[in-house]
Structure 1
Amino acid sequence: MKNQINIKHIKNLNNDVLRGIAFYTQELAILQERLQEIAGDNTAREVQEQVEHFQNQFIIHEKCLTELKQDIHRNDLDIKADLLLSGTMVSESIAAEHSRVHERYLNEEKIFNDLRHEFNRFSAEWL
């Protein structure tokens, strides 16, 4: 019999990650609005270069958050399929996939927060 892991912890973490993704998606929208305000008020070349930098970073993070959300939903579907077979446990491979996605989320969260702090310093200078 293959090793199995209880799903309660996995489901709670997946739900936490989905809430985190929703928060960061909203945060991105706010940051993009502030960036547009800065871009409209400042036409200096150095400001426009920074605006472009942040626009690109926001696009990258939005894509990453979307992919993470899809991967969490996919992991949830895999969990449901495994539960149909076992009742209350999921296989180690599904738990390992969950761990990989969760690590990606934690990494994205750290990078996003660093970017947000960088952007806040920029916006404090130009808003």
Structure 2
Amino acid sequence: MKTKTEVLYNENLHFEHKQWQSELDFWKDELKSFKNRLGDLIKRWTNKEVLAQLEHYQNEFILHEGIIDKLQETIEKHETRIAGQVNSGQESLDTALTKKHLEFRNQMETQRQIYADLKKDFFRFLSKTM
């Protein structure tokens, strides 16, 4: 029985990194607008329960900004490794780097879901408080 081996080429990984970076940049911009919206709501509400929810979302947004920064840093490190391989004439990644890339892909998928859930919760909250 033959086993099929998939080769990951540096240019494909670079393309995926660019996609992820664009997505992370978009999330950062979105979080800025969400934080601005929180600022508007803090001025309008005095109810302690609503203010507690606003603080919760503010903390969540700060947490997600930190996660985004870490993900972007990981992408930069991986890009540096890819560039080193390209400069040495290698077109495909070694096993260890491939494994790291696939693990990072899973991290991105997980973070994508967590972020989507946060947005849904925040929009539900906004519809109740508006």
The two structures share one fold, judged by TM-score above 0.5: yes
Residue 69 of structure 1: how far off its partner (Å): 0.4
Q: Per residue, is there more strand in 1 or in 2?
A: 1
Task: Please name the residue that 2:85 is paired with.
Answer: 82
Q: Counterparts of 2:105 and 2:7 in 1: how far apart (Å)?
A: 19
List per-residue Cα deviations over 1:49-74 (Å, max 9, x = no partner): 10111011001100000100010010
Amino acid at match of 2:20: V
Are 1:105 and 2:108 an aligned pair? yes
Within 5 Å, give how 1:1-127 maps onto structure 2: 5-127=8-130
List per-residue Cα deviations over 1:70-109 (Å, max 9, x = no partner): 1001000011112233431221211211122222121111
Q: Counterparts of 1:105 and 1:88 in 2: how far apart (Å)?
A: 24
| Cα pair 1:5 1:92 within 8 Å, conserved | no
Aligned residues: 125
Scaled by the length of structure 1, what TM-score is found?
Answer: 0.91
Secondary structure of 2:8's counterpart equals: strand
Amino acid at match of 2:38: L
Amino acid at match of 1:49: A
Q: Counterparts of 1:57 and 1:79 in 2: how far apart (Å)?
A: 33
| Cα pair 1:14 1:72 within 8 Å, conserved | yes
Moved over 3 A (4+): none
In the alignment, structure 2 segments of 5+ residues that lack a partner are 1-5
In the alignment, structure 1 segments of 5+ residues that lack a partner are none
